[in-house]
Each structure stands twice: as structure tokens, then as C-alpha cells.
Amino acid sequence: MDWPSLLLASFAVLFIGVAKAGFGGGLGMLVTPLCVLAFGPKTAIGILLPLLCAGDAFSIYHYWRRWRAENLKYLLPGVVAGVVIGVQLIGRFSPRQLNIAIGLIAVLFVGFHFFKDRLFRAEKVFTPNHWVGVPCGVGMGITSTFAHGAGPVATIFLMPQRLSREMFVGTSVLLFTFVNWIKLPFFCVDRSVLDWPVFAAHALITPATLRTSAKFFPLVPFGVWLGVWLNRRFSEAVFVRVIYAILLLTGLQLIFNFDLTAPFR
């Protein structure tokens, strides 16, 4: 790897740990777009999933039993369906089209962040149910398959429940742990090996991507430690604004494919 790609990937994997340590919001959403710039869309998705599963293990320990588990029964049936749909779609897009899709998810997430408080301020406390949970789960499965980016849809379902901050984060941690483990078998199996239509046309997790994931793995626990350190010393509001600005610029780069070397020629 060249140095710019190595730095982008390293920052992205570091952000997995930092986000799991309590800096939520756009930080987790920044991981996939940065890795896509470093590796390309399909390779990035395959490299990141095992690292996200590792990050979930750290965060589950930290938030153990500080969640509202009943949300799983409303969302997970739709998540499974959404992952199956997403896997079928991901094999039909070119790398450029995947870049645009991931970039759009990133930019829309930034817009959603700035309007979510206004959207939910006047809402009554929401009682979760299957009528809303299943469609939200489908949306989570599809966006998570494309960009590991189901955060906005999960927020739409969880935020109106008016959970405490700790309960909201803990429930999100539990939910994404299940979502990532649900995706794992679909991403590992190549349809040419096991001819079932639910699997990816080409396995996104391969021995090569696993070796790359293993090389970056030490950055995940280090990122958790860094997130705890940052939480004690920096204003989360300022930190998150910076992250959203980076996320917006990264998303725009993926969509429009600017020539970043032009000013230096």
C-alpha cells in the first residue's frame, strides 16, 4: 500500500475503537468512506466487517445489560431480509457506482444529523412495534450491507423511544453486534462455491482481506483507549463537529471523484 492509503485505512480502523468508546454520531459512519478511498468499495467492506465485529466485542463488555433488548425482536427480522436484498444488489454495481452509493449515504447522514433534533422534538414517546420495526430493519440491512452505515435508520427507530443516553448507546451497541454477525456468513460465502442465491456473487471476506484485517486489528483496542482518553479531555460537541465536516468532505469526494492532485501539478 502507498502511504496515503495506509494512513486513510489506519485512521478509519482507529475510529472504530474511538466510536465504540462513546464517541458515536458520525465517527462510526466515517470508517467505511475512508477505507473505500484507501482500498476500493468491495475490498473495504470485506476488510472492515471482521474489525467491526471485534469492536462490538469490546463495546458489548462495556455496556453489558445497559440496553433495551426488546428492540431486537422488532428489527432483526427486517435486518435479515435487508441484508439478503443488499447482498444481491451489491453484486450488480460497478466500483464507481458503489462509491457513489456510499458517498450518498455519508452525505445524507450528515444532513440527518443536523435535522434529527427538530424531527423528533415534538414526537410523543414511541412504543416499538413490528409495523415500524420490520421496515426499519430492512433499511438497516440494506444500508449496512452497502456501507456498514445503518446508524441513521437505527436512530429513527430508537430516538423517539426517549431512552437515556446510556440506554440509547447500549441498545445501539447490542443491535449492531447482531447486525454485523448476521452479515458475516453472507459476506464469507462465494455463490460459485455454494450455489444459493442469498450469498454474495463474490465473497467479500477472503483470506487476503482477513490478513489485511489482522494487520490493522491492534488499532481497534488502541482506538477504544483513545476514545476514553478523548472523552475525558475534549468537548464531545466540538470533536463531533470536526468529524461531521470530514465525513461530508469524504462523501463528496466519493460522489464526485475530485482530482485531489491537480493543485500540485
SS3 assignment for 77-109: HHHHHHHHHHHHHHCCCCHHHHHHHHHHHHHHH
Give the pLDDT confidence score for residue 122 in this predicted structure.
54
Please state the length of the chain. Answer: 265
Distance between CA atoms of residues 244 and 24, nearest Å = 11
Question: Structure pTM?
Answer: 0.79
- The yes-or-no verdict on residue 265 having pLDDT over 50 is no
Give the pLDDT confidence score for residue 234 in this predicted structure.
67
Kindly state the percentage of the chain with pLDDT values over 70: 80
Region 215-235: what's the mean pLDDT?
A: 80
Here the cell at position 226 is 483513545
Give the pLDDT confidence score for residue 263 in this predicted structure.
44
Lowest mean pLDDT among 83-87, 128-132, 186-190: 186-190
- The yes-or-no verdict on residue 46 having pLDDT over 90 is no
- Neighbour tally for 125: CB within 10 Å: 8
What burial class does residue 169 get, using C-beta atoms within 10 Å of its C-beta: 0-12 exposed, 13-18 middle, 19+ buried? buried
